[in-house]
Amino acid sequence: MTWSLEQWEQWGWRMLMPALLFGGVAAAYVLLSILVLRCLGWWIHRRKAKWTWPGGSFWWIGYYALQVLGGLWSSNLDAWALSLEVKAALFVLPLLAAIPGRSMLRDFWWSLGWSVTAYLFWRCAFAGWQHVVFSDASFWRYARFAGDVHPTYLSLHAAAAWLGLGSQWGKERPRGLWLLLMALLAISMGMMGSKAGILAAVFVTILDIVTRNRWGAHSVRHSVGFSFLFLGLLGLSSYTMSKARFVEMKSVTAVAKEGGAVASSSSAGRLAVWSTALDVLVEHPLGVGTGDVTDELMTHYERDGIVYAAERRLNPHNQWLQAGVAFGWPGVVLISLAMGAWCWAGWRSRNRWLFLTGSLLMAHAMVESVLEVQRGVVFVMWMFVALRSSQKED
């Protein structure tokens, strides 16, 4: 059997999610292969076809341009160069979508849904085996359950997979399998215990329920009851497996009253780094430069005695503050326009998945610098271009 270029490209896209779960370097090689295949396909079959950039992509390209320009006032040029490499997807994926070729929408949902499902099944099997062998229940929780993928990012992937279940992937499967897959996603997110991931999944599911009448019957395959069942399983799993991680959110009160130096948990640590990042933004309205974000924050952590954040070299854990520390108020405005345009385009065009995935991103971005690692930025930009380039523009 001889495969065409389009078939090779199809499987290139379908291998992108497994590559992301495996590691950022693997994802970079897959993207490079797709770029070569897409350019060859365009050159051979579609040379006269017009390149069409996905709507809203220039905000993201502009944000990458800020990463490049931010090196002009950065002292740490090694960190600047690493940032350009990690965040290259801000430019590369809109470029890939602009080149005439096969739609990547079906490949995105197929790869996301089945790759995350396979990974979570494997993690459940691994945790169960380790629990039996070592009698250690911690393998069912947080990072030990999530494996090499940080729980926050794996929760983002799982929540996006949940949004498309039945309508975008797994369409032809019986409802019994839908229930199994839904249960796997919900229970796994509870076991991972990412507060950001759990709360964001709850938020977009409720948002889907209350706005459901807007979408049209063709866009929603599962019932409201199915969504409530997901919320119930997610809540039960979170309470059973990750209750302690939510209880420690009470420590935020102490930090608010006594200052960031007392931070001793992830929730309190976030409040401390948010306050510090806001101070840096006020002191540097044009930012400290792409490469100097961590160095500048570390200076403030050590000065103010915020031991928890200093020991972990924490970034701002908020995408707006991350942009603000690096690029000042221009960065805050540009990242707001990029994410806001994503949600607005979905709402205006009644595109359920565009609106809900944009809302999911914004929910994560409030408590995580979600564009600072490849498992975040590559996934986010792939999701954006797959949904946006397939949308019929007005």
Nearest to 335 by CA among 301, 356, 365, 368: 365
Question: CB-based burial of residue 176 (10 Å sphere; 0-12 exposed, 13-18 middle, 19+ buried)?
Answer: exposed
The number of folded domains in the chain is 3
Last residue of a domain, one of 194, 229, 249: 249
Residue 300 forms part of a structural domain: yes
Q: Do residue 200 and residue 277 come from a single domain?
A: no
Whether residue 211 lies inside any domain: the answer is yes
Q: Does 96 map to a domain?
A: yes
Q: Quick one: three-class SS letters along 273-317? A: HHHHHHHHHHHCCCCCCHHHHHHHHHHHHHHHCCHHHHHHCCCCC
Domain co-membership, 272 together with 345: yes
Judgement on whether residues 36 and 91 belong to the same structural domain of the protein: no
The answer to whether position 35 is within a domain reads yes
**Together in a domain, 81 and 96:** yes
Collapsed DSSP state (helix, strand, coil) of residue 219: helix
Residue where a domain terminates, one of 221, 249, 277? 249
Q: Which of residues 201, 221, 249 is at a domain's end?
A: 249
Q: How far apart are the first and last CA of the chain?
A: 41
Asked if the structure places residue 135 within a domain, the reply is: yes
Q: Are residues 122 and 223 in the same domain?
A: yes
Answer yes or no: is 372 within a domain: yes
Q: State the Cα–Cα distance between residues 171 and 167, nearest whole angstrom.
A: 6
The pLDDT profile of the chain, 394 residues, written as one tens digit per residue, is: 567 888 899 999 999 999 999 887 899 999 999 999 999 988 887 777 889 999 999 999 999 999 999 999 999 999 999 999 999 999 999 999 999 988 899 999 999 999 999 999 999 998 888 877 888 888 888 889 999 999 999 999 999 999 999 889 987 777 788 889 999 999 999 999 999 999 999 999 999 999 988 887 666 667 888 899 999 999 999 999 877 777 666 655 555 555 555 555 667 778 889 999 999 999 999 999 999 999 999 999 999 888 888 888 999 999 999 999 999 999 999 999 999 999 999 999 999 999 999 999 999 999 999 999 999 999 999 999 999 987 644 3
Same domain membership, residue 369 and residue 274: yes
Q: Are residues 180 and 129 in the same domain?
A: yes
d(CA 107, CA 15): 9
Looking at the structure, tell me whether residues 289 and 345 fall in a common domain: yes
| Reported pTM | 0.93
Exposure string (b/e) for 324-345, b if CB count within 10 Å is 16 or more? Answer: bbbbbebbbebbbbbbebbbeb
Question: Could you tell me the residue range of the domain that residue 122 belongs to?
Answer: 104-249
Q: Is residue 254 part of a domain?
A: no
140/30 same-domain check? no
Question: For tokens 């929540």, what's the residue?
Answer: 159
**Co-location of 281 and 223 in the same domain:** no
Asked if residue 281 and residue 186 are part of one domain, the reply reads no
Assess whether 81 and 45 both reside in one domain: no
Residues whose CB is less than 8 angstroms from the CB of residue 193 and which lie 6 or more positions away in sequence, other chains included: 141, 142, 151, 238, 241, 242, 245
